[in-house]
Amino acid sequence: MKAVGFYKYLPIEHPESLLDIEIETPVPTGRDLLVRVQAVAVNPIDCEMRAPRDEAEVTPRILGWDAAGVVEAVGPLCTLFEPGDAVFYAGDPSRPGCNSEFHLVDERLVGRKPEQLGYTSAAALPLSSITAYEALFDRLGISRNGADSGKSILIIGAAGGIGSMAIQLASKVAHLRVIATASRPLSRHWCLQLGATAVIDHFGHMQTQLKQEDMDAVDYILCLNNTDRYFETMAAMIQPQGRICAVAETRRPHNLNLLNHKSATLVWQSLFTRSLYGMPELGAHHHLLNAIADLADLGTIDSTVTDVLGPLNAANLKKAHAEIESGRTVGKLVLEGCL
């Protein structure tokens, strides 16, 4: 089967950073689905995993953690899907990714594709929707049923894929007052269009800008950008007994005592915790993605795809990685099936 992979960890402009390759089509066992990939989305984690370093692979490494496709075959223990089913999912980083013609994935990590969305639109949703959903409702403890309606949340780095979904879930499902951060007219407009109440510039003095929105502090903060850069700002902007969730690892120590007198909480969100640690509730992603599909079919949330870069091949995937590494993408970049 066709795939896009690499052997060496190189800068994206290097001719061998991503390669068109041919590999054996895998065979599903256990609870695996063999999915014929119809579309994939590209995420910052792809670029992080491909980042230059002095290592090499004996067999090609294949990335990709956002896909939509059709079940081609199932393992003998599968109970959730059968051949012909349309699905979408984010997968498992401990296994080969979805930048390939066919892909193996545990059915417990897979949801039914929204009926109202095509494969290209659906592929933009899994990673960002799972991360945003878990961050808001599991880590920050926000009510899924609107019990926290009217409370405020600051989403730092809101114009990217995860932020785009977090704005929609926070505003349209939890009914929160959403303060998004974005620095360009295009990204500001995007955030407001998705449901943000206001947008402030994360390169400016955020506390001053928040006061201009008649707010001294917020009930919740979701940081989707540089945790190191914004830690002290978040500590100053969170309400007493408020909750902060971050997705980016810190690279230096921080003074946690800044949260002490406020009795504020700092929690982490990582999409792949369940799959990496083999946790018993692995099927949570199956149910979560089905819930996202329901919201999409009801029109409560929209796909966040902003650009389709053509078929999945090395040249187009390089373009996607380069765009993401520029730090200026809005929404999600998608590629269609292998040619």
Cβ neighbours for 324, distance < 8 A, ≥ 6 positions apart: 42, 43, 44, 46, 47, 333
Distance CA 298, CA 135 (A): 22
Any idea which architecture 129-268 has in CATH? 3-Layer(aba) Sandwich (3.40)
pLDDT tens for each residue of 261-280: 999 999 999 988 887 787 77
Please give the full DSSP string across 4-37, using - where no structure is assigned.
Answer: EEEEE---TTSTTSSEEEE-PPP---TTEEEEEE
Pairing relationship of beta strands 19-22 and 2-8 according to DSSP bridges = antiparallel
Single pTM value for the model = 0.95
Pairing relationship of beta strands 19-22 and 152-156 according to DSSP bridges = unpaired
What pLDDT, on a 0 to 100 scale, did the predictor assign at position 338?
72
Which residues sit opposite 89 in a β-bridge?
67, 110
The segments of the chain whose pLDDT lies below 70 read 339
Question: Which of 137, 133, 148, 135 is CA-nearest to residue 239?
Answer: 148
What pLDDT, on a 0 to 100 scale, did the predictor assign at position 273?
87
Per DSSP, the three-state class of 80 is coil
Q: What is the CATH number of domain 2-125+280-338?
A: 3.90.180.10
Q: What are the structural domain ranges in the chain?
A: 2-125+280-338, 129-268
Distance CA 114, CA 291 (A): 10
What pLDDT, on a 0 to 100 scale, did the predictor assign at position 339?
63
